[in-house]
Amino acid sequence: MKKRLLQSLVLLLVGFNLVVGMRVYQAVGAQEKDDSGYSSIAVFARAMQMIRQDYVDESKVTYEDLSHAAMRGMLSSLDPHSQFMEPRDFKGMQDDTNSRFGGLGVVVAQRDGNIVIVNPMEDTPGHRAGLLPSDQIIKIDGQPTEKMDLNDAIKMLRGEPGQKVVLTILRPATKDLKDYTLVRENIKVASVKEAKLLPDELSGDFRIGYARITQFNVPTAEELGKKLDDLEAKGMQAMILDLRYNPGGLLNSAIDVAGQFLPPRTVVASTEGRVPSQSRTYRTSDTVKPRPRYPLAILINTGSASGSEIVAGALKDLNRAILVGETTFGKGSVQSVIQLQDGSAMRLTTAKYYTPSKQVIHEHGVSPTIRATLTPEQERQLLLQRREDLSADPERKEITNFRDTQLERAVDALKGVMIYAEKTGAPKRASAN
């Protein structure tokens, strides 16, 4: 009886909405399309009721299942970064913010319908297995990803530490198709690595510093500041900041990293959306520590995304650094996370990022000042070089003679700046112009 009564009420609502929708449509007269919402809501309610009434498998047609599926499809149709999150997915996103979660350590995105690896995080199962940026995940535990929602793919990649997962990987550069068996771990990634003065055989008579940022976490800017203090105390004359394969992270952290090389209150980025509340300007801190304006080069590639693009784009725009490498990934949109009443949430794209000169990052990326590319084999060797578990690994032999030509180009550029400054008395600075 209650079921029939509910069905009658839904059908009555549908009929009422249809009548109201038709009246609204008639009232507005010659409009090309009725976007008042009434008729569309009526169609949706009618479709949901027919599915619940006639679909063969009753266990799949609860109101929660159908409404969640509808929201998932609605958000995924907008852009690759807008997503509906089940309560469990929302909790997983919160774990990400704390930089600790169970998984494989691969950052993924959706491109042209494919699940693509943006970057394998260092010291994680994905990195140690030899996965590379641009690798396509064809299957997860035998399940094809061709029509899989990005959020569903991320859910399958994550899990309890110690669990195995098999990824079927297509490497576009070589057309190789291969299965990788990985074991999930608790992922905790250090953000600032290899801060050092480059060896004399590379830097020559100059003292050139180097530091690599793997992603932007809460302590990243503070960690980088301490490393810069140490390098400056050792007489550093120029600096290379390596943002290759850095997928981004916290926006405020990226702003603070840029602030290590800029004056206080300098505009680093801005956002613009449809509503005034989404338009905002991001500046460096009032209390940023002043540093010498030594020449600066930033290494970027297609694996540099989001926060990396904000840092690189700002320092290029402001003539504070030269960029060496390849055009970045092009992920420059703002996602607002909106929690819903049942514990689920929406990740909704609400604005786009712009560099200080109002250059759009989204789907364009940040272009280098000096273009320098690596072959797929060189990229593989570079990622191998970054592994910390190769001391007794036969793959160590593969990188004995590896030359990081992008790093070499950055060193040459900085040397040129300093040699020119010595000869002319001009200020030593690396400029994007």
Catalytic residue set: 306, 317, 331
Chain-centre distance of CA 73, in angstroms? 22
How many CA atoms lie within 13 Å of 310's alpha carbon, on the beta-carbon side?
Answer: 33
If we measure between CA atoms, which residue out of 409, 408, 305 comes closest to residue 365? 305
Asked if residue 47 lies in contact with residue 61, where contact means CB atoms within 8 angstroms, the answer is no
* R_g (Cα) of the chain, nearest Å: 26
Q: Which residue has the tokens 């509906």?
A: 84
In this structure, what token pair is assigned to residue 54?
Answer: 């006639």
Asked if residue 333 lies in contact with residue 349, where contact means CB atoms within 8 angstroms, the answer is yes
If we measure between CA atoms, which residue out of 371, 269, 383, 251 comes closest to residue 306? 251
Collect contacts of 382-386 with beta carbons under 8 A, ≥24 apart: 382/244, 383/120, 383/127, 383/130, 383/132, 383/245, 384/130, 386/122, 386/127
**Structure letter (DSSP) for residue 249:** B
For 227, list phi and psi in degrees, rounded to 5: -65, -40
In this structure, what token pair is assigned to residue 327?
Answer: 């055009």
For 60, list phi and psi in degrees, rounded to 5: -100, 5
Contacts of 44 (CB under 8 A, 6+ apart): 70
Chain-centre distance of CA 380, in angstroms? 20
For 172, list phi and psi in degrees, rounded to 5: -55, -35
For 159, list phi and psi in degrees, rounded to 5: 165, -175
